[in-house]
Amino acid sequence: MEGWTIEVDMTDLALRVKGLRKQYAKVLAVDGLDLEVPRGEVFGLLGPNGAGKTTTLEIIEGLTTADAGEIEILGLTWAQQGQEIRARIGVQLQSTSLFNKITPRESLDLYGSYYPKRRSTEELLDLVQLQEKADAYHITLSGGQQQRLALALALVNDPELVFLDEPTTGLDPQARRSLWDVVRRMKAEGRTVMLTTHYMDEAEALCDRLAIMDHGQVIATGTPASLISDLAIPSVVELTFEGAAPEPAAFAARLDQVVERRADLWEIPTPDPKALLPRLLEAAEAAAVPFQQVHIRRATLEDVFLHRTGRSLRE
Ligand code: ATP
């Protein structure tokens, strides 16, 4: 055997969900959802607003009841072993409200006191790099610092499985990256992390595997790389224009190629950008299409979602 790779036994599941369903008065929020998350993975639920990610997570966390379905967490069920599940999981909700005048040190001490097994406050402050703010009022923390504190609070009981609901929404790029580092450290410590996000770059950067959700269902599962390579469209050529992008229909017919208009740019998916480029430039000149820049990028999870649903993740 080469190196020190830890092999994750796919039969050793942190989470198994089967046939999950939740109907709200007017919306079928979760529509027969199946998931399997092996231990030790960072697993992402990726989907647009309203896809059912939060509802799914809240049912798994025992905060909302399902209408139907089975859930096994670390081999346990809520009906039989609720207390044990609570002791062994950590939960960060979409937003965490704390008193304005509680400090990170105090809130970690307080949350920790609820559990028989707990990580020390100092260790957690180090993990999320909040030592400097340990004794500052909560109201004085930045958005990123508040999110890192919420992560530390989800870890007070040293959980094996941690749920994070859109942990980086609303954060600036630097704060997002620093939060990603904390998630990576959680994984390095051997924890399983399940997170929701509607950022495809976050899903690609952080997750070992993903389930892409839409309308309460999983529409694709796999590693970010396999989901993208299954598309069989490794590249996308993007064209931008001086002003707003023109309608691409006539140009697409001339080029005999799918051309999608997205806001102020055209996107042309292609397995072979080298062959497409000369044809593209020729056709653009013939049609007097005044484009400004041509950019070739590899396909992303956004393209996977677009391809499967005909809609953008950001719509
Ligand atoms: P977001 O990224 O916006 O949080 P999401 O993927 O997490 O979206 P959910 O919050 O699970 O989606 O919502 C799924 C659907 O269920 C939405 O149409 C939402 O309006 C609806 N929904 C969620 N909670 C409730 C509720 N308590 N009562 C009624 N409808 C709800």
Query: Helix, strand, or coil here: 57?
Result: helix
- Cα dihedral across residues 246, 300, 58, 34: positive or negative: positive
Q: Is the CB of 50 under 6 A from ligand 1?
A: yes
pLDDT of 106 above 70:
yes
Domain boundary assignment for the chain? 10-229, 234-298
Binding site membership of 32 for ligand 1 (Cβ less than 6 Å): no
Look at residue 183 in the predicted model and tell me its pLDDT: 93
Best mutation site among 27, 31, 215 for ligand 1 pocket (most ligand atoms within 8 Å of CB): 27
Ligand 1 atom closest to the Cα of residue 55 is 11
Predicted confidence band of residue 5 (pLDDT cuts 50, 70, 90): very low
* Report for 172-181, 190-199, 255-264: range of highest mean pLDDT: 190-199
pLDDT for res 20: 97
Q: Taking residues 169-177, what's their average pLDDT? A: 84
Nearest to residue 97, comparing CAs of 54, 53, 157, 138?
138
Select from 53, 61, 64 the residue to mutate for testing ligand 1; criterion: most ligand atoms less than 8 Å from CB: 53
Rounded to two decimals, the pTM is 0.85
Task: Provide the percentage of residues in the chain whose pLDDT is more than 70.
Answer: 96
The pLDDT score that the predictor gives to residue 11 is 60
Where are the strands (E) in 192-247, listed by range? 192-197, 209-214, 217-222, 235-241
The residue whose C-alpha atom lies closest to atom 20 belonging to ligand 1 is: 50
pLDDT at 314: 66
Tens digit of pLDDT for each residue in 280-302? 888 888 888 888 899 999 888 98
Cα of 56 vs centre of ligand 1, distance in Å, is 9
CATH H superfamily, domain 10-229: P-loop containing nucleotide triphosphate hydrolases (3.40.50.300)
22 lines ligand 1 (CB under 6 A): no
- Of 153, 178, 174, whose CA–CA distance to 163 is shortest? 153
Q: Angle 173-188/143-153 helices, nearest 10 degrees? A: 20
pLDDT of residue 184: 94
Nearest residue (CA) to ligand 1, atom 19: 50
pLDDT in tens, 121-163: 999 999 888 999 999 999 999 988 998 999 999 999 999 999 9
- How far apart CA 9 and CA 16 sit, in angstroms, is 14
Average pLDDT over residues 38-58: 94
pLDDT digit string (tens) for 73-105? 999 999 999 999 999 999 998 777 888 889 999
Topology (CATH) of 234-298: Alpha-Beta Plaits (3.30.70)
6, pLDDT greater than 60: no
